[in-house]
Structure 1
Amino acid sequence: MTSGLSLADQIALELRADIIGGRLLPGMPLVEADLVRVYNASRNTIREALHRLGQEGLTRYVRNKGVMVRRLERAQVRDLFVVRRTLELQAIAHSPALTDEQAERMQNAIDATTLAREREDWRAVATHSLVFHQHIVGLMRSPLFDEFFAQVIAQLRLVFCAAPDEQRFQSPWLERDREIYHLLLQQNKPAAGEAMSLYLDDSERLSLALFLHP
């Protein structure tokens, strides 16, 4: 657990991590009694944690069913990509050269994605690729943006869960992540920004195709 946070905040962070990790999928119920037992917390604390996840757009209350992991809609997917373009392109355009620590974090995410792809663990491929993009936003060194983007990638993870063929959906992105990383290492920010822009265009197009109804 993370120190300095309330128990409700800590539980919300762990549940968000489960969403990013693909362990909680759209439509799954979050049963209060089960969470009380798992986290050894009061019902009020669990309700507060679930409320926080609802504020982050990750859960919704369904009458007669309770709280469930949220299924996103097409308009919300579009909005997520507006946010991605704003933050990721801004981070590339205005950040200084990569520090050794930043480069190592990105390389580690790419290595983890590569290993997951070799194992054909496509759920993990999606998760590690999102972590790479979290490190892109991290170039701005803004804790507020980092926290906000963690909520964004959790919602994106729910989008990717809608893909009927995870392998086909996730296969294109590793080489493109690697290209962006190498361009950043070379301090070629214009080319990195262009590669990221094309990446996001293609990712948005394929993501929207998962949601046929506007």
Structure 2
Amino acid sequence: MSIAKENGLSLADQVAHELRDDIIGGKLLSGMPLVESDLVRGYNASRNTVREALHLLGREGLTTYIRHKGVIVRRLTVADVRDLFMVRRTLESRAILAGKPLANQQSSGMADAIEAAELACEREDWRAFGTHSLRFHQHVVGLLHSPSFDAFFTNIVAQMRLVFSAAPDEARYQASWLERDRHIHHLLLEGHCQQAGEAMDSYLNDSERQALELLASAARH
């Protein structure tokens, strides 16, 4: 837990950070039980620290307490998904339409996320693919140069990852997005912000429709 001290985080904040990263990384899936004793061992923390971390994640909408069952990774509803995409349109579209030139560091971050997604695609590691695709969109929000928005969007990304984890066929669900991420990055590199914004709007509309279809299919089964 030395990282907690280096970053000025409490131990509970650090455990929450690690749990959140494991959700984004696809290690903790929607509906998975979060057993205190397992977390104490897995994250090398006390029970009180783990409980506080789970409370923090509950406030962020990433975990849910079920009476007589304990804490689980949250299952998202149709209303949750619609709300997530409303947030994504607000932040990602605004970031693109702000029209600021793409700095080398920002472009490199996007390119690295796309390259990592390509490698994951080649390995057919669709869990990793979804994570890297979401990292690309974090870099898009990063164009706003707002640490507060960056922190807030990390939570949105974690919730989106829970949507992906409900897909019975992640290959079919994920594979089509790589080329569209690459296209948006290319438009940003060329300074075509209006076109990039339109491409992002189309991307998010299609992504929302697919996510809602996924939830409807999961509910039927």
TM tier, smaller: over 0.9
CA displacement at 1:34 relative to structure 2: 1.6
Q: Percent identity?
A: 65
Task: Name which of 118, 121, 126 aligns with 2:122.
Answer: 118
CA displacement at 1:41 relative to structure 2: 2.1
Task: Name which of 24, 27, 42 aligns with 1:23.
Answer: 27
Does 188-197 or 30-39 show the bigger shift?
30-39
Counting only pairs closer than 5 Å after superposition, residues 83-122 of structure 1 correspond to structure 2 as 83-122=87-126
State the distance in 2 between where 1:156 and 1:71 align: 11
What SS is found at the alignment partner of 1:46?
A: helix
Q: TM-score, normalised by structure 2?
A: 0.94
Q: Residue 158 in 1 paired to residue 162 in 2?
A: yes
Counting only pairs closer than 5 Å after superposition, residues 161-172 of structure 1 correspond to structure 2 as 161-172=165-176
The one-letter code matched in structure 1 to 2:80 is Q
CA displacement at 1:37 relative to structure 2: 2.2
Residue ranges of structure 2 left out of the alignment (5+ in a row): none
What SS is found at the alignment partner of 1:27?
A: coil
The one-letter code matched in structure 2 to 1:172 is S
Give a deviation string over 1:121-171, Cα, whole Å, max 9, x none: 111110000000000000101000000000001000001111111011101
Task: Report what 1:42 is aligned to.
Answer: 46
The one-letter code matched in structure 1 to 2:20 is R
Contact 1:95–1:140 (CA under 8 A) maintained in structure 2: no
State the distance in 1 between where 2:80 and 2:56 align: 18
Cα RMSD (Å):
1.0
Contact 1:95–1:139 (CA under 8 A) maintained in structure 2: no
CA displacement at 1:33 relative to structure 2: 1.3
Q: TM-score, normalised by structure 1?
A: 0.97
Aligned residues: 213
Residue ranges of structure 1 left out of the alignment (5+ in a row): none
